[in-house]
A and B are shown apart, each in its own frame.
Chain A
Amino acid sequence: MPDAAGSAESAINEAQITVRDVTMAYGSFVLMSGLNFTVRRGDIFIIMGGSGCGKSTLLRHLIGLKDPATGEIIYGDVNFTKAEPAIREKLLRRFGVLYQSGALWSSMTLAENIGLPLGEFTDLTPVQIREVAALKLALVGLKGFEDFYPSQISGGMQKRAGLARAMALDPEVLFFDEPSAGLDPISSRLLDDLILELRDNLGATIVVVTHELASIFTIANNSVFLDAESRTQIATGDPHEMLANSHDARVRRFLTRGQEGGGSASSHG
């Protein structure tokens, strides 16, 4: 067993997330239990399921905003759930998170938003930080918007700026909470392409919470399917294979928009 700090490094090199027997609960109310799945390095991993089944809550567990009631979340060989605060913080710094609404800091310009983590955790000079921020903004198609405040740009642009901020420290695991919510079909498609490029060119592992089927089939190669009724996961694996081979009526109904698997789409919500 290597020392704790060293193992934090190797965990990220493998960039492997293991969720073992996790139960999510609010107080005594159990939201989900028996969660077991693995995200491999370089995966685009989808957390899917109907509205309100706990997808976003699972994401909050993965990024350490909530701790599982039982079970553990492991990054590589570091037990994230039981790690010391210092090691957790070190791991967190290697994650990038894109929140549902973008969650840009509203009192700062876009360049300052992206520059904040750079200023805190790197030795770059202010000029260099601004250059990096401009580069990240250009990567998401927001060249020249450095000095805009989040309230001055549209929702889709905020989301892209949020992505630029999530990528500020070149994270090796990127988390997306409903990236296409509130985006028009074309922007949503562009975001999917961006996600694929991030994986292919930066080698990042990407975890996405979504229920957009078009997105799922475009980007995913691995997934977990959460079911609100039974309060557990009912399928894991590549969604394409799920669609081809799964015999579970609930999974089929979801992946075919209620065309198959019995029952109408309206009874699913």
Chain B
Amino acid sequence: MIVGLAGPWHLGKDAPSASLLARELSGGCPPQRLCFDSARLTHWDSSLISFLTQASEICRARGITEDRGGLPRGLRRLVELAEAVPEKKGARAGTSKAAFLARVGNASIGYGTSVSEFLEFLGQLTLALGKFVRGKARYRRIDFLEAVQQCGAGALGIVTLIAFLVGVILAFMGAVQLSQFGAAIYVADLVGIGMVREMGAMMTAIIMSGRTGAAFAAKLGTMKVTQEIDALTTMGISPLEFLVLPRTLALILMMPLLCLFADLAGIVGGMFVGVGMLDLSITNYVRETISTLTLLNLFGGLLKATVYGALIAIAGCLRGFQCGNSSSAVGDAATQAVVTSIVMVVAACGAFAVVFSILGI
């Protein structure tokens, strides 16, 4: 059988597929030999080479001898080159899918190891903190100050804006219900307690997960990819003390301050609605807020913020250290850091609610 190759062969312009040839060969009795006629071939690129390699595979499978004599020399060489190294066994990605139970099992084992990795990291960080307390930790003060600036002053704007809006939203929700009973003044209580006890710390934590947690993970992940972390280790400098400690301390230190600011911004937001919509006077609103808030409320909120700060820093740094060795892994690490820290913050918030209600705070 002679295959006539004619006209231009372009990758993008509907080049014939080898299945055409396979269909021809399977009909009736198969020929003994396959020849090519390229007299009318005007132009060819990889599409023709791909066609020819598939053709020879079909021929091999059916025991047909193939004669490439009719092909241009360059084309013949390229096809030979493509076939020079036999396919490596096992190199092709496995198409078989693991059984459902196997996948469930592997996933569970994966969660188990990630929990143990987290605990190990926490333990190492505690040791580093111990060294810090004894003044023996190795880190640069300038790194600490930079981290303080980045997660303190740098975050002030967005934290203020979001907290103010949350205060406004809380006040709106309360105002609709409370003014039905003529109790509009209690909007101040609602916003004050809501912000100080829960929302101030919570909103700050969520902003900081997205802002600082992701930044920590991306920074450490990049350092891992470029072997900068290895370089620290082989210098005898613990990356945990040098990189994680200043960042964690900075965030733990800054979170309560940011939270305090968020509380204030939220109350101002509530007052904005109260004064503008409910015709309350500023004096009354402030007096009501002050009378309803207790120091216990305030310190409860600040304690939460501190714990959230620690969780965000740990999640960010851990995901950075676990980063793989490519640029896409850095992106994954940042995403993972945000997801992990938000999950941990919300879980911690739940735990605090239970503990506080048992303690009667």
Does any Cβ of A come within 8 Å of B85's Cβ? yes
Closest to A92 in B: B236
How far apart are B347's CB and chain A's nearest CB, in angstroms? 31
Chain A, 23-60, contact with B by CB distance < 8 Å: what is the 0/1 string?
00000000000000000000000000000000000001
- Contact residue among B140, B223, B226, B231 (Cβ-Cβ distance under 8 Å from A97): B231
Complex Cα–Cα for A105 and B228 (A): 6
Does any Cβ of A come within 8 Å of B66's Cβ? no
How far apart are A155's CB and chain B's nearest CB, in angstroms? 12
Does any Cβ of B come within 8 Å of A202's Cβ? no
- Whether B230 contacts A99 by the Cβ 8 Å rule is yes
Whether A64 touches B234, Cβ cut-off 8 Å, given contacts A120-B138, A266-B84, is: yes
Does any Cβ of B come within 8 Å of A221's Cβ? no
Complex Cα–Cα for A106 and B226 (A): 9
Chain B, 215-233, contact with A by CB distance < 8 Å: what is the 0/1 string?
0000000010011101111
- Whether A103 contacts B235 by the Cβ 8 Å rule is no
**B residues less than 8 Å from A93 (CB atoms):** 235-236
- Contact residue among B228, B233, B236, B237 (Cβ-Cβ distance under 8 Å from A65): B233
- Contact residue among B84, B227, B232, B236 (Cβ-Cβ distance under 8 Å from A121): B236
**A residues less than 8 Å from B236 (CB atoms):** 89-90, 92-93, 117, 120-121
Does any Cβ of B come within 8 Å of A95's Cβ? yes
Does any Cβ of B come within 8 Å of A11's Cβ? no
Whether A117 touches B230, Cβ cut-off 8 Å, given contacts A266-B84, A266-B85, A267-B85, is: no
Complex Cα–Cα for A104 and B230 (A): 11
How far apart are A175's CB and chain B's nearest CB, in angstroms? 8
**A residues less than 8 Å from B231 (CB atoms):** 97, 99, 103-105, 165
Does any Cβ of B come within 8 Å of A63's Cβ? yes
- Contact residue among B85, B140, B233, B235 (Cβ-Cβ distance under 8 Å from A117): B235
Chain A, 69-103, contact with B by CB distance < 8 Å: what is the 0/1 string?
00000000000000000000110110101011101
- Whether A103 contacts B84 by the Cβ 8 Å rule is no
- Contact residue among B84, B138, B234 (Cβ-Cβ distance under 8 Å from A92): B234
**A residues less than 8 Å from B84 (CB atoms):** 266-267
Within 8 A of A (CB), among B130-166: 138, 140
Complex Cα–Cα for A95 and B232 (A): 12
- Whether B226 contacts A92 by the Cβ 8 Å rule is no
Complex Cα–Cα for A95 and B236 (A): 10
Total cross-chain contacts (CB, 8 A): 55
- Whether B227 contacts A103 by the Cβ 8 Å rule is yes
Does any Cβ of B come within 8 Å of A116's Cβ? yes
Q: Determine chain A's interface SS by DSSP, over half rule.
A: mixed
- Whether B235 contacts A116 by the Cβ 8 Å rule is yes
How far apart are B36's CB and chain A's nearest CB, in angstroms? 26
- Contact residue among B140, B228, B234, B235 (Cβ-Cβ distance under 8 Å from A104): B228
Complex Cα–Cα for A83 and B32 (A): 71
- Whether B227 contacts A95 by the Cβ 8 Å rule is no
Complex Cα–Cα for A165 and B231 (A): 10
- Whether A92 contacts B227 by the Cβ 8 Å rule is no
Q: Which of A99, A103, A106, A117 has the most CB of B within 10 A?
A: A103
Complex Cα–Cα for A105 and B140 (A): 13
- Whether B235 contacts A99 by the Cβ 8 Å rule is no
- Whether B227 contacts A101 by the Cβ 8 Å rule is yes
Chain B, 191-233, contact with A by CB distance < 8 Å: what is the 0/1 string?
0000000000000000000000000000000010011101111
**A residues less than 8 Å from B230 (CB atoms):** 60, 65, 97, 99, 103
Closest to A63 in B: B234
Within 8 A of B (CB), among A195-219: none
25 A-B pairs in the complex with CB atoms less than 8 angstroms apart: A63-B234, A64-B233, A65-B230, A65-B234, A92-B235, A92-B236, A97-B230, A99-B227, A101-B227, A103-B226, A103-B227, A104-B231, A105-B223, A105-B228, A105-B231, A106-B223, A106-B226, A106-B228, A116-B140, A116-B237, A120-B235, A120-B236, A120-B237, A266-B84, A267-B84
Query: Across chains A and B, which 8 residue pairs bring their CB atoms closest together, nearest first?
Result: A103-B227, A103-B231, A93-B236, A99-B227, A92-B236, A89-B236, A97-B234, A117-B235
Q: Show the binding face of A for B, using Cβ within 8 Å.
A: 60, 63-65, 89-90, 92-93, 95, 97, 99-101, 103-106, 116-117, 120-121, 165, 266-267
Further pairs besides A65-B230, A103-B230: 20, Cβ < 8 Å? A63-B234, A90-B236, A92-B233, A92-B234, A92-B236, A93-B236, A97-B230, A101-B226, A101-B227, A104-B231, A105-B228, A105-B231, A105-B232, A106-B228, A116-B237, A120-B138, A120-B235, A120-B236, A165-B231, A266-B85
